[in-house]
Amino acid sequence: MADTRSTGAAAGGIDLTQFYQVFFEEAGENLAQMEQMLLGLDLAHAEDDELNAIFRCAHSVKGGAATFGFADVAELTHCMETLLDKLRRHELAAQPRMVDVLLAAGDALKAQLARHQGAGGNAVDTRALIADIEQLAAGAAPAASVECGVEVANAGERQLELTVGPLPDPGVADNLLELFREIAELGRMEPLDAGLSADGMRRFKITTRSSDSDLLDLFTFHVPRETLAIGPLTPGYGFHPDAPGAPRDQAEQGYGFFADAPGAPVVESQTRREPARPEAQRPGKAAERSAALESSTLRVSIDKVDQLINLVGELVITQAVLAQAGAQLDTGAHQSLAAALADLQRHTRDLQEAVMSIRMIPMSVIFNRYPRMLRDLATTLDKKIELVMSGEATELDKGLVEKITDPLTHLVRNACDHGIEPPHERLAKGKPAHGTVTLAASHQGGSILIEVRDDGCGLSRAKLLAKARERGLDAPDSLSDAEVWNLIFAPGFSTAEMVTTLSGRGVGMDVVKKNITALAGQVEIDSAEGYGMNVKVRLPLTLAIMDGMSVGVAAECYVLPLSSVVESFQVEPGTIRTVGAASRVVQVREQYMPVIDLEGVFGVPREAGSPGNSIMVVVESEGGRVALLVDELLGQQQVVVKNLESNYRKVANVSGATIMGDGRVALILDIGALVRLSRH
């Protein structure tokens, strides 16, 4: 089908391209909402408000697509409307096949919209899909009576009278004429009364196959809804009282009168009230929530939010500079200035938290895509899988949400493919036939914890060790369970034959860990063979601003992420022991951990005679702990994270940089890289 995007470029001198982005965003939201409601639909006891809400989603997409000239989108959604309309009117009973076809139609619409949005690609062929929808819609009628969702009995063109006005500028009504010229599928439209009526109203004759509601939805893009009225075209149409040539007998009968004229025929009112319906059929809470959301949200470009966050970050740095300068003043002599600086610090913190919250979006944005994926996977794998989600309201930075989606998708697919057993195997083990995959999100301190759990077969310790040795990895029997589970993160650990074994979860897990580590996150695995597996992903709430502990090494300053700091203590003589040729360890409450000397790692120059390292800071990441040797603890503060790689180059064991209150640049240490360094 040809790309018809350009047809909506202008209508009556109005450039419609300025509204494209809003339409694409709203269409995407409607399709996502429709998919979610279809997946949650109880086919045996489908509620009327749910069916009405699904119908309205398709109807909204169709109305916008027809307005902007996206004929392929309008055609498919029109056919979907026909099927959904019969479902909500109880002319057809809901069937699983209908849900499958409607979900497939939603996927096709997403592809069509992406193409119109400029993503490229060939036109989407929806002929087979439309045929399927027509066949389902014809379930209560002979197939020959349906053609692309429009009943042949009503396929004949109707003639209507449209009354528009009063308008401040009556010429605006001519935009509707342009609309019909641009979108030929609508039919024909011609003015009546040879121009402006004496009562300030404009009247038009419309020849169309479209419904009244479809026309009104289109017209309201150009003129206010309350100025529109559609009625049947009667004998003597198009004449207002006292119009030249108005037939007297027809005028007396009220034909063609404006809405409030005495004796005018009863036609649909300008407010277009819906016909009375039983209470159960009226839109319920779903519609109320949608209306409340529209009235309480504002659509803002992400670029503007990023710019605002950058400016607040600079403000935080400036506040830190003023705070450090104020600390050197005599608070007694400058009491008012000290109080003002304290207020500035508090207000800056509040402003920063408020601005950061703008960028935070709920985890439901990610979680809502998995019910559909699990449904398709269960069908493909011939398994019975139930998805349980919790913590969908937990918020995470938008930048992290976009980057964590692929790793989480891989974990969920692995849980379904290699974790959950087929129904007959589960029944043989005394388990229910339905397997359960759980997605959970929660806040823990300054981090967010995302868990992917399943009650499947779990990991096999013996098979993982055997496979590791087969691939030449160091895997003694003395490894702890946690270390054995971490073997699946080794690059190239999994092969195609692993997919068929109980330990076949390693496919691409090294990439999952790499992506999560790149987000300053951690991933941990807990498993019990025969009972299931739990993968925990910990991420910072945001990558833009973080709480840090600054430490001094000689004349240099380094920042440790506060979420990774466990404790700090004074180095006592004899606490550090040498193991082997050069490795050093320290005992902390019956536990030995590696010691890393930051002075040696970063080659920090030290003046002769200056005191050496006297403090250890214990940090943890990726399930391991190390003790860092430093000279002093400088304090805790919020720091604005700057990308060092894009501004300079990648530096080993460093995740970013920041500007301190005295103007110095301090490196933010990559704790995960330091833990891995200690292991090697």
What is the average per-residue pLDDT within 242-249? 38
pLDDT band of 437, cuts 50, 70, 90:
very high
Domain boundary among 504, 519, 540: 540
E strand or H helix at 656: strand 654-659
What is the average per-residue pLDDT within 324-335? 79
Give the CATH number of the domain where residue 515 resides: 3.30.565.10
Judge whether residue 520 has pLDDT over 70. Answer: yes
pLDDT band of 252, cuts 50, 70, 90:
very low
Domain boundary among 152, 181, 214: 152
- Answer yes or no: is 259 within a domain: no
pLDDT at 237: 40
Task: Say which range, 298-302, 418-422, 607-611, 653-657, has the weakest mean pLDDT.
Answer: 607-611
What is the average per-residue pLDDT within 496-511? 49
Q: What does pTM read for this prediction?
A: 0.55
Q: Which two tokens stand for residue 136?
A: 């389902």
DSSP string, 478-526: T--HHHHHGGGGSTT---GGGGGSTTTT-TTHHHHHHHHHHTT-EEEEE
Closest CA relative to residue 464, chosen from 478, 444, 440, 484: 484
Q: Which two tokens stand for residue 300?
A: 């803002």
Task: Give the pLDDT confidence of 174-225 residue by residue, as tens digits.
Answer: 777 777 776 777 788 887 755 455 566 788 888 887 777 777 777 777 777 7
pLDDT at 16: 64
Residue of higher predicted confidence among 154 and 453: 453
**Angstrom distance (rounded) from CA 57 to CA 49:** 12
Task: Say which range, 5-14, 139-148, 663-672, has the weakest mean pLDDT.
Answer: 139-148
**Angstrom distance (rounded) from CA 680 to CA 676:** 7
Q: Which two tokens stand for residue 611?
A: 């005191």
The CA radius of gyration of the chain, in Å to the nearest whole number, is 34
Q: Which residues pair with 596 in a beta bridge?
A: 628
Task: Give the pLDDT confidence of 541-564 residue by residue, as tens digits.
Answer: 776 677 889 998 888 899 998 878
Are residues 536 and 645 located together in one domain of the fold?
no
pLDDT at 259: 36
Are residues 519 and 556 located together in one domain of the fold?
no
**How do beta strands 556-561 and 395-397 pair?**
unpaired
Judge whether residue 277 has pLDDT over 70. Answer: no
* Residue appearing with tokens 């069916």: 51
- Are 573 and 603 within 8 A, CB to CB? no
**Angstrom distance (rounded) from CA 154 to CA 320:** 72
Q: Which two tokens stand for residue 566?
A: 């466990």
E strand or H helix at 516: helix 509-518
Task: Say which range, 2-16, 518-532, 646-660, has the weakest mean pLDDT.
Answer: 2-16
Q: How many CB atoms lie within 10 A of CB 297?
A: 8
Are residues 246 and 139 located together in one domain of the fold?
no
Judge whether residue 29 has pLDDT over 80. Answer: yes
**Angstrom distance (rounded) from CA 19 to CA 36:** 26
| Local structure of residue 231 (DSSP, 8 states) | E
Quote the mean pLDDT of the chain. 75
**How do beta strands 545-553 and 532-540 pair?**
unpaired
- Answer yes or no: is 296 within a domain: no
Are residues 465 and 500 located together in one domain of the fold?
yes
- Answer yes or no: is 508 within a domain: yes
Q: How many CB atoms lie within 10 A of CB 637?
A: 17
Are residues 28 and 125 located together in one domain of the fold?
yes
**Angstrom distance (rounded) from CA 392 to CA 365:** 8
| Residues 594-633: b if buried by 16+ CB within 10 A, e if exposed | bbbbbbebbeeeeeeeeeebebbbbbbbbebbbbbbbbee
pLDDT at 609: 65
Give the CATH number of the domain where residue 172 resides: 3.30.70.260
- The SS3 call for residue 667 is strand
pLDDT at 505: 44
| Residues 251-264: b if buried by 16+ CB within 10 A, e if exposed | bebbbbbbeeeeeb
Task: Give the pLDDT confidence of 337-377 residue by residue, as tens digits.
Answer: 888 888 998 898 888 778 878 878 888 888 888 888 888 88
DSSP string, 392-453: TT-EEEHHHHHHHHHHHHHHHHHIIIIISPPHHHHHHTT--SSEEEEEEEEEETTEEEEEEE
- Answer yes or no: is 186 within a domain: yes
What is the average per-residue pLDDT within 92-119? 84
**How do beta strands 435-444 and 385-390 pair?**
parallel
- Answer yes or no: is 265 within a domain: no
Are residues 84 and 179 located together in one domain of the fold?
no
Judge whether residue 4 has pLDDT over 80. Answer: no
- Answer yes or no: is 378 within a domain: yes
What is the average per-residue pLDDT within 611-627? 81
Highest mean pLDDT among 20-29, 436-445, 489-498: 436-445
Q: What percent of the chain has pLDDT over 90?
A: 4
pLDDT at 494: 57
What is the average per-residue pLDDT within 49-74? 84
The torsion region of residue 610 among left (phi > 0), alpha (psi -120 to 50) and beta comes to: beta
Are residues 447 and 507 located together in one domain of the fold?
yes
Phi, psi of 628 (to 5 degrees): -95, 130
Give, in order, the Cα–Cα distances in Å from 285 to each of 7, 34, 281, 290, 658.
37, 15, 12, 8, 48
Are residues 48 and 77 located together in one domain of the fold?
yes
Q: How far is CA 361 from the centre of its chain?
A: 8
Are residues 381 and 348 located together in one domain of the fold?
no
Closest CA relative to residue 642, chosen from 176, 393, 317: 317
- Answer yes or no: is 196 within a domain: yes
How many domains in the chain?
A: 5
**Angstrom distance (rounded) from CA 47 to CA 52:** 9
Judge whether residue 292 has pLDDT over 90. Answer: no
| Local structure of residue 642 (DSSP, 8 states) | B
**Angstrom distance (rounded) from CA 519 to CA 402:** 11
- Answer yes or no: is 267 within a domain: no
Judge whether residue 508 has pLDDT over 70. Answer: no
Q: Which residues pair with 189 in a beta bridge?
A: 206
**Angstrom distance (rounded) from CA 402 to CA 398:** 6
Domain membership of residue 521 as a residue range? 362-540
Judge whether residue 421 has pLDDT over 60. Answer: yes
Give, in order, the Cα–Cα distances in Å from 251 to each of 191, 268, 576, 600.
19, 19, 107, 100
Are residues 431 and 306 located together in one domain of the fold?
no
pLDDT at 200: 67
Give the CATH number of the domain where residue 68 resides: 1.20.120.160
* Residue appearing with tokens 């209470």: 279
Q: How far is CA 639 from the centre of its chain?
A: 28
Are residues 441 and 553 located together in one domain of the fold?
no
Are residues 30 and 127 located together in one domain of the fold?
yes
pLDDT band of 600, cuts 50, 70, 90:
confident
Task: Give the pLDDT confidence of 442-499 residue by residue, as tens digits.
Answer: 887 667 889 999 998 888 888 888 888 887 777 788 788 888 888 888 776 653 344 4
Judge whether residue 388 has pLDDT over 70. Answer: yes
Task: Say which range, 202-211, 219-228, 427-436, 624-633, has the weakest mean pLDDT.
Answer: 219-228
**Angstrom distance (rounded) from CA 631 to CA 607:** 13
Q: Which residues pair with 205 in a beta bridge?
A: 161, 190
- The SS3 call for residue 365 is helix
Give the CATH number of the domain where residue 553 resides: 2.40.50.180
- Are 337 and 329 within 8 A, CB to CB? yes
